[in-house]
Structure 1
Amino acid sequence: MKTLFTIISLSLSTIYAVYGQAEGRIAGKITADEQSIPFANVEILGTKQGASANGEGYFVLQNLEAGTYQLRASSVGYEALTKSINLKEGQKLTVNFNLSEVADALEEVVITGTLKEVNRLESAVPVEVYNPTFFKKNPTPTIYDALQNVNGVRPQLNCNVCNTGDIHINGLEGPYTMILIDGMPIVSGLASVYGLFGIPNSMIRRIEIVKGPASSLYGSEAVGGLINIITKDPKNALPLSIDVMSTSWQEYNIDVGHRLKLGDKVSVLTGVNYFNYNKSIDNNNDGFTDVTLQDRLSIFQKWNFERKDNRLFSLAGRYLYEDRWGGEMNWAPDYRGGDEVYGESIYTKRWELIGNYQLPVQEEMLFTFSYNAHNQNSYYGDVPYMADQKIAFGQLTWDKNVKSHDLLLGSALRYTYYDDNTPATASEDRNLADETWLPGLFVQDDISLTDRQRLLLGMRYDYNSNHGSIFTPRLAYKITLDDNNILRLNAGTGFRVVNLFTEEHAALTGSREVVIAEALHPEQSYNLNLNYIKKMYLREGSYIGLDATAWHTYFTNQILPDYDTDPNQIIYRNLDAYAVTQGISVNLDTEFANGINVLAGGSFMNVFFAEEDAEGKLEKRRPVLTERWTGTWAVSYTIDKLNLGIDYTGNLYGPMRLPLLSDLDPRDEMSPWWSLQNIQLSWAQSGGSWEIYGGVKNLLNFTPPANSIARPDDPFDREVTFGEGGEVVPTPNNPYGLTFDPAYVYAPNQGIRGFLGVRYVIQ
C-alpha cells in the first residue's frame, strides 16, 4: 500500500507540474550514511499531512499552500530530524533528509555472532553495533583511536617511542581479540592494529563487537572477543564523499570515497585515506618525541557484481603503506639502524584481498576467502626487526532451515607463513620460516524453542599442524521475557596458540630480551556470559535502553609476560595454576524528549592470575596494564533552528599496575585515575552537501608523567653497569639501577589540541 500510495502521489505531482497549478510541492529523498531509507515517514508537524517514502527513499508532499512548515522525517532505528521550510505560492522545493542512525540500535541486523544475518533482538549472542554516526561524535583518523569511546574496549599503547599498540577487550590484551573485515580474519598477529589503521571512514557501514570467546565459529584467536568491520555495499553508496580534518598539532587526515557504476551489474566503491603528522614535539622535555611521526596511505576498493537470483559476489582489496618513527628529537633517517642517535623506525607494507561468492546452487552455500601479505622493516635503535607474514583463508558455509532449526555447517582452511630475523624462526645453522596449516569443521544449530525462546548449539574442530586437535563447543540461550526485557546466557571454550614474536615485536626488539623459559603450551579457557537488555519508554517520547553483562573467563593455561623478574627481559612460561578475568559491564542509551541523547557505559573488571610463590602457596596478582574501572560517555544535542550539533565525549580509566624495572625504581607502581574528554560543534547545511565540524580534544590536557621513559639520556645503556649475572648494578650516575625502557606507558603523551574538519557529499 505504501508503494502504491507513493506512485500515485508522484503521478499526481507530475500532472500538477504540467498544468501549472498554483499549489506548492515539497519532494526529496531520505538517506542515512549515504544510503536510502525505504518507506521512511515524513510529516508536517501540527497537521495531519504526511507521506511515506518509496523503496528508494523518495517522498512527495503536494497541494501545499504558501507558508512556513515544520517537516519531520523519521524511521525505526534512526534519530528523527526536523527542518523548517518556507514555501512560496506555487513553489516546488527539493528537501533532502540525512538521518542519523541510533548509535546502538537494538533493531540492527547483525552477522558477527552467528555468521549469518539476524535481527539483533533475535540473536542468541549479544552483539554491540556502532555506526559511523557514533564515531563522528569524536572524529579520529583511525578506527583504533575511535574505539576509546566504546565501553569495555581500550586502545593500549605498548611503547612510548614507537607508539605500537593493541586493543584490550574486558581486560584481555590485544592478541586475544580477533579483528575481521567483512567477516574475514584478515588481520594477523603481526598486524593486529593495522587492521584498524587506514580503513577509509567512507567505506565503513558499521562495526560489530562481540565480547567473550567465539572460537567455535571464528577459530583460535577469538578468545577475548571480535571486532568486525562491515564495509558498505558499493551500489548503495554516494557518488562522492570527502572528509578533511586537521589539528593544532599539525596532523592532517584526508578521507575520500567514490562510487562508480560500470553498466547495470557492476558497482565499484573506492576509498582513500591519507594521514600525515610530521612535527616533532617534546612537551614533557625528556628529549624524545611525544608522539610518533607518521606518513600513512591506504587504498581500499570494493567491487559488487549483480548475479541471477540476487546471488552474492563481491571482491575487495586494500593496500597500506606506513612510515612511522619516534625517538630522540635530533633523529633523522640517516641515523636509522645506527647507535649514534636513538630512534625507532617502522616501514610497513600490507596487501589484503577479500571475496564472497554464493554458489550457483539451489541451497544457500557461500564461499568466502581472503589473503593478506604483511612486510615489516623496522629498527629499534640499532636492533633490526625484519618480518614477513602471509595468511590465506578459505571457508565454505551451508545455511539450511529445517522446521524450527536454522542450521549452519562449514569448513575452513587457514595457511600461515611467518619469517623474521629473530630466534623465532632460526636454528643453529639456518633460518626456518614457520608454516602452519589449520583446517577446521564447524556446525551450529539455532533452535526456535518457542516464540520467545531460542537455543544455539555449536561446536568446532580444528587441527593445528603444530599442536594437533582443537575442540571448542559453544552454547547460547535467549529468552524474551516480554517486549521490553531480554535475557541471554552464553557459555563456551577458548583455545589460542601463542606466537610471541608476532605479538610482542615492539617490546622484544627494543630494550628487553625475550626469554622463553620452557616449551609453551596452547592457552585454554572456559567462559560464561550473562546479558540482560531492558527497554523503557517514558512519557513525552523519552526512551532509556539498558544493556548489562556479567562475564567470567577461567584460563587453565595462560602465557603472560613477566616484566618483574629481570628488568632487561620479558620472560614467558606456562602458568602454574590458573588465571581469571571477570566483571560487570553496563551500557545506557537514552533519548530525551528535549532532544538530548546520552550514551554512557561503565565496567568493573577483576583480572588476575594465580601462581605458586617460593613456599608453594598460591599468590594472586593483577597483570600489568590492566585497569579495574572504566567509563565512557557521549552526550549529544542538536539545535534544530541553527542546524548545529553539540557532542561531548569522554572516557575514564582507573589505576593499573605498571612495569617497574626494579625494587629501587622510584616511579609509581600504579597509574592514577585518568580521563580523555572532547567537545565538538558541527554545522550541517540544511538539505545540502556541506558539513563543518570542530572542537577540542583532551580538554583536561592530561598526559602521563615525564619520567615514562626510563633513562632517556642513555638509550643505548652505555653508562649502565651490569653484574656477572646480567643484573643492573646501582652506581652514582644510576642510583636506582635502571636501564633504558619505554614500556612504562598507559596513556598517550598528546595533550590538548584543537581540530577542524569539513565534509562534503554528492547525493
Structure 2
Amino acid sequence: MKTKLFSVALLFILSFFSTGVMSQTVKGKVYGVIGESKEFIDGATVVFTGTNIGTLTDEKGFFELENTDNYKSITVSMIGYESDTIEITSGKLIFVHLRSNLTTEQIEVEENRNSKFTGKEIIPTESLTLGEFKKAPSCDLAGCFGSSVTVESKTTDAIFKLKELKILGLDGQYSQILFDGIPIFSGLNAKYGMGSIPGSMLAAINISKGTNSVLQGAESMSGIINVIPRDFNSSEKVFLNLYMNDMLERQINLNTAHKFENWSTILSGHLTGEAMRMDYNRDGFLDAPLVYRNMIYNKWTYDSPAGNFKFELAGKYNSETKTGGEQSFNESSDKWSDDVYGQVIDFKIYDLYSKAGRTFENGDEIKFFAGFSRHDNNSYLGTLEYIATQNIFWTSGFYSWKINSDAKLNSGLSYRFDHLTENITMSESKIRSLLPKYENKEHFPGIFSELDYTNILKNLSLLAGVRVDFHNQYGTVVTPRGLLRYQLAENTLLRGSLGTAFRVPKVLIENMNVLSGSKDLLIANNLNPDKLVNFGITLTQDIKFDFIDGTLNLDFYRSDFSSRVISIYDREPGKVFVENLEGNSYSNVFQAEINVQTPLNFSFTGAYKFTDFILDHKGIKKNEPYVPKHQLVATISYATDENDFLVDLTTNWFGKRPLPSTKFNPPKYQYADFSEPYAVVNLQATKVWEMLEIYAGLENIFDVEQKNPIIAADDPFGPYFDTSFVYGPTTGREFYVGIRYKILR
C-alpha cells in the first residue's frame, strides 16, 4: 500500500460528547497533515483501546465501528505515523489527525485533492499546493491562481498577453513576489518573468494579504506571494509533464531529484515551442504571441547529520523570445517599418540565491539569506526600442532568541541594491517625450527586530516588528507592523494586522503597455515613493458537521495611500501623465470564502470579493480603472473512490469594471465607461494510473472574449492605436491535452 507524504506542523484532536448505554456506532475520518494541509489516510487501523476489536479506514479515510460494550476510547495507528488515542464522547463523526514520523527517504510524493487552504498561523496565509496546480494546466506562475479570489491574474496588454498578480485590487507592482522566500523577483522580472516559473516546478504558493512580517523588507503593500519551488522532499525521482493546446503551443517540463548522503538536489527544466499564427477574431493581429522559452533550475540542500544545520544553494536561468503584432509581421524584414506592425521581446534572467540556518541546543537560531538576479531585456515595440538591464542583490541575516517556550525575538540586518538602466530609441516617425536613457541606483541597508509571542495572554498571540531602512535617495524609512491572533472558540479564530509599506516605483516598467501603443508618456519630475497604511481583520471558522469538513474565512482590508505615483489617461488626447498623487487614494476589500470536503467524493470552494478602490486626485474623485467591485469564484472537484479519475470545474465571474475614458477618440474607437460583466468557465478531466496521468481540458468553455481588445487595430501607426485597453479575456475557447509521467522513490 502506498505511503503518503505527511509532516505535521499542528495536530488537532476533536472530541464529541456521547450518551447512552445501548450499542452505538462510532464513525469518523482519519487524516494526515502537512502544515494545515491534510489528506485522507487509507488503511489506518482503528481499534477500541486495549482490545483487538477494530477496522481499517477506507480510501476516503472513513471508519465505522459498532460499540456494543460501550468502550470509552479508540486508538488509531498507521505505519509511518504516530499513534493516537481519542476519547469517545459523542455519537457524531470523529475527526482524527495523525502526525507523520517518516524520514524523507521513506516518503512518496502525493497530491492532496483538498489542496487549497488558509492556515491557522498568526499571519493569515492562503496556501496552494501540488494538488491545486494539477486542477488546471498551470503552465506558468500566472496560471496558478484560477481558483483563488485573493489573487487576480490580469492581462495588461493585448499583444504579448503579459499578466500581473493583483491583491486587494491593487496593481501587480504593489504585490511583493518572493521566490523561495528571497525578494529578487521584482521590476523587469515581475513584468516579464512569469513564464520563467512553470507550475510543474512548484511545491506550493503561499499568499498573505496586507502588511505582515518585516523580515523580507518594506515593499509588500497589498500582500506577499511566496513561490516555493520543489526540492528533493517534495518531488518524485523523475517527473515529466508534456502539454499541447489547440494552437499547437507545446511545453515540456522535467524534474529529477536525488539524494547523496547528507546532500540532496533537484534539477528542473522547461521548454516552450511556438504556436501557430492564428487570428480568430480577424482584427489582423495574432491572437497569441509566438513564444520560445527555455528554463533550467538547480537546487542543492545540505542537512547535517545532527539535524541542527541546513544550507541551500540554487540557481535559475531563463531565456525567452516573444513575437506579436500583425499576423504577417516578420522581424527580419519589418522591424522599423511603417507598413507592418510588430513587437518582439527578447530577454534573459540569471538568478542565484542561498540560505543557511543553524539551531542551537537552547532553541536559539541564526539564519542568513542572499540572492542575486540579473535581467537583460531587448524589446522592440513597434515604434520604439527598449533595452534595459536590471541587477538586484539582497542579503539578510538575523538571530532568533528563544525567550521562553512561547516567545522568540528575531533581530537582524539587511541590505538591498537595485540598479536599473533603460535605453530608448524612437522611430523618426513617432517622436515622444522620453529621454534616450534612464538610470536609477538604489541601495539601502536596514535593521529590524520582531517579537513573536504565541501566548502573551490566554488565547492571544502577538507578532510585532519594526524595521529601519536607510535609502540613498529618500533617507530613513521606518516601517512598523503588528499582528494579533485570538482564539475566540475551539473552532473560531480572529486575526488582525496593521502596518505601513514603502516602495520606489519603476515608472517605465509599470507603464510598458503605454509604450506599446501610440500615446505619449509624460513623466513629472521629483516623483515620490509609494507609501501606505494597511489594516486587516480575518475571521476563520472551522466547519465540522456530521460528514462535512470545511472552513469559512471572512476578511476585511483597508489600504490608505499617503503617497502614490499615478498614471492619468484621460486629461489630454494622446497623452498619459505620470505624476504624484495630489489628494488621497484608498481601497476597501471584503472577501468571503468557504472550502468544503464531503464524503460523496466532491469538494467545493466558493468565494466572493467586494472591492471599493477610490482615486481622488486634484479634486476629481473616481473609481480605480479596471478594478471590478464584485467577483465570484467557484470550484467543484470530483474524485472516484480509487482516486483514478478526477474532474475539476472552475468558474470566475467578474462584475463591471470602470474603464479609462476614451472620449478623445473618434466614435468608432470609443468605449463605454464600464465593461459588461462576464464569466470564464474552465473544465479539466484527469485519468490516473500508478505512474502515468493523462489530462485534457477546456479553458473559457463558452468562448467569452473582449471585443476589439486593440484600439485602432486597423491603423497601428496612427494616433489612437492602444494595446493597453484590456479588461477581459483576449483569447477565446482553448482546448489542451497533456501527460504526466513519474518515477517514484
The TM-score bracket by the shorter chain reads: 0.7 to 0.9
Alignment match, 1:290: 287
The alpha-carbon distance between structure 1 residues 133 and 207, as it changes in their structure 2 partners (threshold 3 A), is same
Indicate the larger mover: 488-497 or 565-574.
565-574
Deviation at 1:146, TM superposition (A): 2.1
Deviation at 1:44, TM superposition (A): 7.6
Unaligned residue ranges in structure 2 (runs of 5+): 4-30, 48-52, 57-75, 84-94, 101-106, 427-432
Query: Where in structure 2 are the equivalents of 1:295-310 lying within 5 Å?
Result: 295-310=292-307
**Is this contact kept in 2: 1:241–1:759, CA < 8 A?**
yes
The alpha-carbon distance between structure 1 residues 140 and 360, as it changes in their structure 2 partners (threshold 3 A), is closer
Spell out, residue by residue over 1:560-612, the C-alpha distance to the aligned partner (whole angstroms, 9 max, x if none): 21111134222111111111111200111001222210011110000011123
Alignment match, 1:276: 273
Counterpart amino acid of residue 756 in structure 1? V
Counterpart amino acid of residue 286 in structure 2? T
Q: Is the partner of 1:196 in helix, strand or coil? A: helix
Q: 2:734 aligns with which of 753, 756, 763?
A: 753
The alpha-carbon distance between structure 1 residues 658 and 187, as it changes in their structure 2 partners (threshold 3 A), is same
Spell out, residue by residue over 1:282-306, the C-alpha distance to the aligned partner (whole angstroms, 9 max, x if none): 1111111111111111111111112
Q: 2:442 aligns with which of 410, 430, 436?
A: 436
The alpha-carbon distance between structure 1 residues 344 and 214, as it changes in their structure 2 partners (threshold 3 A), is farther
1:380 and 1:374 mapped to 2: Cα distance?
A: 18
Alignment match, 2:623: 622
1:742 and 1:275 mapped to 2: Cα distance?
A: 24
Q: 1:135 aligns with which of 129, 133, 136?
A: 133
Q: Is the partner of 1:312 in helix, strand or coil? A: strand
Q: Is the partner of 1:550 in helix, strand or coil? A: strand
Aligned residue-pair number: 658
Q: Is the partner of 2:306 in helix, strand or coil? A: helix
Q: Is the partner of 2:401 in helix, strand or coil? A: strand
**Is this contact kept in 1: 2:611–2:628, CA < 8 A?**
yes
1:359 and 1:581 mapped to 2: Cα distance?
A: 41
Alignment match, 1:675: 679
Counterpart amino acid of residue 574 in structure 1? N
Deviation at 1:712, TM superposition (A): 1.5
Deviation at 1:397, TM superposition (A): 1.5
Deviation at 1:741, TM superposition (A): 1.1
Counterpart amino acid of residue 156 in structure 2? N
1:290 and 1:313 mapped to 2: Cα distance?
A: 45
Alignment match, 1:344: 343
Alignment match, 2:507: 500
Alignment match, 1:646: 647
Q: Is the partner of 1:218 in helix, strand or coil? A: coil
For the pair 1:355 / 2:361, whether they are aligned, the reply is no
Alignment match, 2:520: 513
**Is this contact kept in 2: 1:215–1:223, CA < 8 A?**
no
Alignment match, 1:584: 590
**Is this contact kept in 2: 1:631–1:652, CA < 8 A?**
yes
Alignment match, 1:104: 116
The alpha-carbon distance between structure 1 residues 631 and 444, as it changes in their structure 2 partners (threshold 3 A), is same
Q: 2:543 aligns with which of 531, 536, 549?
A: 536
For the pair 1:526 / 2:552, whether they are aligned, the reply is no
For the pair 1:411 / 2:413, whether they are aligned, the reply is yes
**Is this contact kept in 2: 1:176–1:223, CA < 8 A?**
yes
Query: Where in structure 2 are the equivalents of 1:235-246 lying within 5 Å?
Result: 235=233, 237-246=235-244
**Is this contact kept in 2: 1:215–1:495, CA < 8 A?**
no
The alpha-carbon distance between structure 1 residues 388 and 490, as it changes in their structure 2 partners (threshold 3 A), is same
**Is this contact kept in 1: 2:505–2:530, CA < 8 A?**
yes
Alignment match, 2:165: 167
Query: Where in structure 2 are the equivalents of 1:74-473 lying within 5 Å?
Result: 98=110, 100=112, 102-106=114-118, 120-121=119-120, 123-214=121-212, 216-235=214-233, 237-261=235-259, 263-310=260-307, 311-334=309-332, 335-359=334-358, 363-403=364-404, 404-422=406-424, 433-447=439-453, 448-473=455-480
Alignment match, 1:715: 716
The alpha-carbon distance between structure 1 residues 214 and 376, as it changes in their structure 2 partners (threshold 3 A), is farther
Q: Is the partner of 1:502 in helix, strand or coil? A: helix
Deviation at 1:745, TM superposition (A): 0.8
1:681 and 1:389 mapped to 2: Cα distance?
A: 42
**Is this contact kept in 1: 2:414–2:445, CA < 8 A?**
yes
Counterpart amino acid of residue 508 in structure 1? L
1:692 and 1:713 mapped to 2: Cα distance?
A: 42
2:127 and 2:557 mapped to 1: Cα distance?
A: 19
Indicate the larger mover: 195-204 or 346-355.
195-204
Indicate the larger mover: 95-104 or 436-445.
95-104
**Is this contact kept in 1: 2:136–2:684, CA < 8 A?**
yes
Q: Is the partner of 1:520 in helix, strand or coil? A: coil
2:451 and 2:221 mapped to 1: Cα distance?
A: 21
**Is this contact kept in 2: 1:383–1:510, CA < 8 A?**
no
Q: Is the partner of 1:187 in helix, strand or coil? A: coil
2:207 and 2:660 mapped to 1: Cα distance?
A: 29
**Is this contact kept in 2: 1:693–1:757, CA < 8 A?**
yes
**Is this contact kept in 2: 1:190–1:503, CA < 8 A?**
no
Alignment match, 1:48: 54
The alpha-carbon distance between structure 1 residues 323 and 227, as it changes in their structure 2 partners (threshold 3 A), is same
Deviation at 1:418, TM superposition (A): 0.8
Deviation at 1:104, TM superposition (A): 2.8
TM-score, normalised to structure 1's length? 0.81
Q: Is the partner of 2:568 in helix, strand or coil? A: coil
Deviation at 1:277, TM superposition (A): 3.4
**Is this contact kept in 2: 1:213–1:223, CA < 8 A?**
yes
Deviation at 1:704, TM superposition (A): 0.2
Q: Is the partner of 1:561 in helix, strand or coil? A: strand
The alpha-carbon distance between structure 1 residues 371 and 241, as it changes in their structure 2 partners (threshold 3 A), is same
Q: Is the partner of 1:627 in helix, strand or coil? A: coil
**Is this contact kept in 2: 1:235–1:268, CA < 8 A?**
no
Counterpart amino acid of residue 114 in structure 2? V
**Is this contact kept in 2: 1:552–1:581, CA < 8 A?**
yes
Q: CA RMSD in A?
A: 3.1
Counterpart amino acid of residue 622 in structure 2? R
Deviation at 1:222, TM superposition (A): 0.9
The alpha-carbon distance between structure 1 residues 137 and 77, as it changes in their structure 2 partners (threshold 3 A), is farther
Counterpart amino acid of residue 414 in structure 1? R
2:390 and 2:512 mapped to 1: Cα distance?
A: 13
Query: Where in structure 2 are the equivalents of 1:650-661 lying within 5 Å?
Result: 650-661=651-662
Spell out, residue by residue over 1:61-106, the C-alpha distance to the aligned partner (whole angstroms, 9 max, x if none): xxxxxxxxxxxx996699xxxxxxxxxxxxxxxx999451532345
Alignment match, 2:705: 703
Counterpart amino acid of residue 471 in structure 1? V
**Is this contact kept in 1: 2:115–2:131, CA < 8 A?**
yes
Deviation at 1:342, TM superposition (A): 0.6
2:500 and 2:732 mapped to 1: Cα distance?
A: 41
Q: 2:722 aligns with which of 741, 747, 750?
A: 741
**Is this contact kept in 1: 2:168–2:557, CA < 8 A?**
no
TM-score, normalised to structure 2's length? 0.83
**Is this contact kept in 1: 2:608–2:633, CA < 8 A?**
yes
1:356 and 1:528 mapped to 2: Cα distance?
A: 31
**Is this contact kept in 2: 1:525–1:557, CA < 8 A?**
yes
Indicate the larger mover: 231-240 or 692-701.
231-240
2:642 and 2:493 mapped to 1: Cα distance?
A: 38
Alignment match, 2:12: none
**Is this contact kept in 2: 1:38–1:56, CA < 8 A?**
no
Alignment match, 1:116: none
Counterpart amino acid of residue 251 in structure 1? E
For the pair 1:545 / 2:543, whether they are aligned, the reply is no
Alignment match, 1:92: none
1:96 and 1:237 mapped to 2: Cα distance?
A: 8
Alignment match, 1:69: none
Deviation at 1:464, TM superposition (A): 1.1
The alpha-carbon distance between structure 1 residues 285 and 147, as it changes in their structure 2 partners (threshold 3 A), is same
Q: Is the partner of 1:309 in helix, strand or coil? A: coil
Counterpart amino acid of residue 416 in structure 2? R
2:199 and 2:535 mapped to 1: Cα distance?
A: 34
The alpha-carbon distance between structure 1 residues 97 and 143, as it changes in their structure 2 partners (threshold 3 A), is closer
**Is this contact kept in 1: 2:341–2:716, CA < 8 A?**
yes
Deviation at 1:474, TM superposition (A): 0.8
Q: 1:610 aligns with which of 607, 611, 616?
A: 616
The alpha-carbon distance between structure 1 residues 390 and 251, as it changes in their structure 2 partners (threshold 3 A), is same
Alignment match, 1:91: none
